[in-house]
Amino acid sequence: MFKKRQEAILSFLGDKGIDGMVLNAGPSLVYFSGLHFHLSERPVVFFLVAGKKPLIILPALEEPKLEGLDFEVDPLTYPDDPARWQEVFTHGCASVGLRGLNIGFEPRQLRMLEYRYLRAASATTKFDSCDEAISQCRSLKDQDEVSRLQTAVTIAQDSLKSILPQLTVGLTEQEVAAELAIELYRHGSEHPLPFSPIVSAGPNGANPHAKPSARKLMEGDLLVIDWGASWQGYASDLTRTFAIGEVEPEARHIHELVKKANEAGRAAAHPGATCSAIDLAARSVIEAAGYGPFFRHRTGHGIGMECHEEPYIHGGNIDVLKPGMTFTIEPGIYLAGKYGARIEDDVLITENGSRSLSDLSRELIPLVE
């Protein structure tokens, strides 16, 4: 599997005049090699260059991780003495013939730490972003990846359903978030979670990325819960909005608008549609009702090995959706000082249309009668 992915990315890179790429610890390294490392003071760099055997520079203590790979790789290890590291990088760059080549890297991932060793080792190498080529590979999920995403969604939904009967007036946002995190792990989510659960009630719900606070749930609140699970390297990201007892008519109204916007976005998702068309479909529902200024973020983002990745669902993105792409649709309305509402689903583009991986009720469910 990894050898096929490596061949695919080299083909994409070659079409763009790029001779290969370097990857440091992160999701793309896992995707193209199956190797898991965390970012630390010890650099790890994987070299994939056309016509050359893959090479990896890594700490000597990490070499056992290379056992059992389904492709050949040349390892170059270094000791804990940082004074020795540059010579290893110089040798590695020479081994794969980096001098004078055009090499891709991930601007959002490669640190100055690794870049300085690479630059000092091969001053004539030209380094260019290869984000687009990596996105072309990673954004098209195969059946196994979709299965992992679906499991991450199922874990998340089951975890939330398990705590809903416990939610009542007087609990704090922090307490709800803590219970949800515990249930995510109990239901099988791997560590770490894709992100810490967002639990925001009443006025705090008007902040799309609110941090759970010591504020207690109160009668009449809209309660926004944004959460996700991790499963075998893939993430889910969902949001639902609930009513704490009886809420005022406008709160019900904005929730209904958000639900219709979510439906419109999902209905517009199919092969050949642009990301901007999905955004427009969802946004138009909210704008037509006069709440356009209160929908303050894009309609969605890709989801997979990272919680936020390509494709990004916003008005300026004319990228065309293809079968295998997965992303969120998450319209929201946020009224400062009052409340907010958001409904978020994880969606897969299929051969003939789209399918929501999440099916938790999107109705405004009252948690306190």
Reported as a pLDDT band with limits 50, 70 and 90, residue 369 is low
DSSP 8-state code for residue 344? B
Q: Are residues 24 and 154 in the same domain?
A: no
Longest alpha-carbon distance in the chain: 70
Q: Are residues 323 and 225 in the same domain?
A: yes
Q: Which two tokens stand for residue 49?
A: 């260059």
What mean pLDDT value characterizes the chain? 97
For residues 28 and 12, is the Cβ–Cβ distance under 8 A?
no
Average pLDDT in the 300-318 region? 98
Burial environment of residue 157 by CB neighbours within 10 A (0 to 12, 13 to 18, 19 or more): buried
Reported as a pLDDT band with limits 50, 70 and 90, residue 77 is very high
The total number of residues written for the chain in this structure:
369
Q: Are residues 160 and 242 in the same domain?
A: yes
CATH of the domain at 205: 3.90.230.10
Q: Give the residue carrying structure tokens 């704008």.
A: 287
Q: Are residues 98 and 247 in the same domain?
A: no
Average pLDDT in the 115-136 region? 96
Q: Give the residue carrying structure tokens 């925001």.
A: 200
Q: Are residues 36 and 95 in the same domain?
A: yes
Distance CA 32, CA 34 (A): 6
Q: Are residues 343 and 207 in the same domain?
A: yes
Q: Are residues 19 and 94 in the same domain?
A: yes
What spatial distance separates the first Cα and last Cα of the chain, rounded to whole Å? 52
Q: Are residues 149 and 128 in the same domain?
A: no
Final residue in a domain of this structure, among 115, 138, 161:
138
In sequence order, what E strands does 230-344 have?
A: 230-231, 234-235, 238-243, 300-302, 309-313, 326-329, 332-335, 339-342
Lowest-pLDDT range of 90-94, 146-150, 364-368: 364-368
Residue 368, pLDDT above cutoff 90: no
Reported as a pLDDT band with limits 50, 70 and 90, residue 24 is very high
pLDDT single digits (tens) 184-229: 999 999 999 999 999 999 999 999 999 999 999 999 999 999 999 9
Final residue in a domain of this structure, among 138, 161, 188:
138
Distance CA 90, CA 76 (A): 11
Residue 61 confidence (pLDDT): 96
Total tally of structural domains belonging to the chain: 2
Range of the domain at 212: 143-366
pTM above 0.85, yes or no: yes
Final residue in a domain of this structure, among 113, 138, 163:
138
The DSSP H or E segment spanning 349 is strand 345-349
β-pair type (222-227, 238-243):
antiparallel
